[in-house]
Amino acid sequence: MLKIKELKCSIGDKEILRGINLDVKPGEVHAIMGRNGSGKSTLANVITGKETAQITNGSIIYNNEDLNEKTPEERSLRGIFLSFQYPVAIPGVNITYFLKEAVNAKRRYLGKDELDAATFLRQIKEKLKLVDLDSSFIKRAINDGFSGGEKKRNEILQLLMLEPNLAILDETDSGLDIDALNTIAHGITTAKSPERSFIIITHYPRLLNYVKPDKVHILLKGRIVKSGGPELAQILEEKGYGWV
């Protein structure tokens, strides 16, 4: 589904990613771990098309298409999703209208009928329950005055509504209390399917106990320096990153 080859990118004259190789097959869950500043968010950003970082080498191939030429919207329509590490508030933009527009844009792209208001409302109310958000949230503006936990639940709500093929979660579990973490884990588990792949960026093995990764990669200074199975996350928990 996703094939990243020798990817290098820079922000200004600083090289941030220094030769990334990654191969994600349909249905696989990959975890990316690593110290702050190692380039995890930058990797998520270049896959989704944020233009802060310039690609200087290599390629990102998604379902046999080179993503380099595609805008973030085109990537989203093709099924790529990013849960932001720092979700942005958009006061005045209601989450229900926003999501309905996004979901229907995708349905139009896929040649499906748009959802009418009643059907959409029924669906969003079901998903709100899954992420343990009160149904009054349908009236709120995007992330406006949301607590940290509510922002991350809202990211998972978007994941559940948009039904992507490739979901990238950038520290969606950071700063959550145990209940919120369980909810997030439950949301991800619900979304798992043989066709849907996940790249989970995290510092904590806890989430990976709930959502078992097929592969764990350690990113250090812009390179994947070690890849392994779920046991790698446990070793990091015990030993930290020093030994890497």
Instruction: Restricting to residues 31-70, name those near Mg ion by CB under 5 A.
Output: 40-41
Contact letters for ligand ADP, residues 2-31 (x by CB under 6 A): ---------x----x---------------
For residue 103, the minimal CB distance to ligand ADP (Å) is 28
CA distance 93 to 141: 5
Binding positions for ligand ADP, 36-75, rule CB under 6 A: 36-42, 52
User: Which residues 6+ apart lie within 8 Å of 122 measured at CB?
Assistant: none
Q: How far is the CB of 231 from Mg ion (least distance, A)?
A: 24
37 vs 175 by CB, closer to ligand ADP: 37
Half-sphere exposure of 119 (CA within 13 A, CB side): 6
Binding mask 173-212 for ligand ADP (x = CB under 6 A): ----------------------------------------
- Which residues make Cβ contacts (< 8 Å) with residue 25, sequence separation at least 6? 1, 197
Q: How far apart are the first and last CA of the chain?
A: 29
Query: Least distance from C-beta 15 to Mg ion, angstroms?
Result: 17
> In what order do the strands lie in the sheet containing 65-66?
14-24, 2-11, 54-62, 65-66
Q: Rank residues 16 and 184 by Cβ distance to ligand ADP and give the closer one.
A: 16
Q: How far is CA 109 from each of CA 77, 112, 239, rounded to the nearest angstrom? A: 7, 8, 47
In the complex with ligand ADP, the residue whose CB is nearer, 186 or 203, is 203
Give the C-alpha separation, 152 to 159, whole Å: 11
Query: Does residue 172 interact with ligand ADP by CB under 6 A?
Result: no
Q: What is the DSSP letter of 136?
A: G
Q: How many CB atoms lie within 10 A of CB 208?
A: 22
Binding segment for Mg ion among 5-13, 83-91, 132-140, 213-221 (CB under 5 A)?
Answer: 83-91
- Residues that bind ligand ADP (rule: CB under 6 A) add up to a total of 11
Binding site for Mg ion (CB under 5 A): 40-41, 85
* Interaction site with ligand ADP (CB under 6 A): 11, 16, 34, 36-42, 52
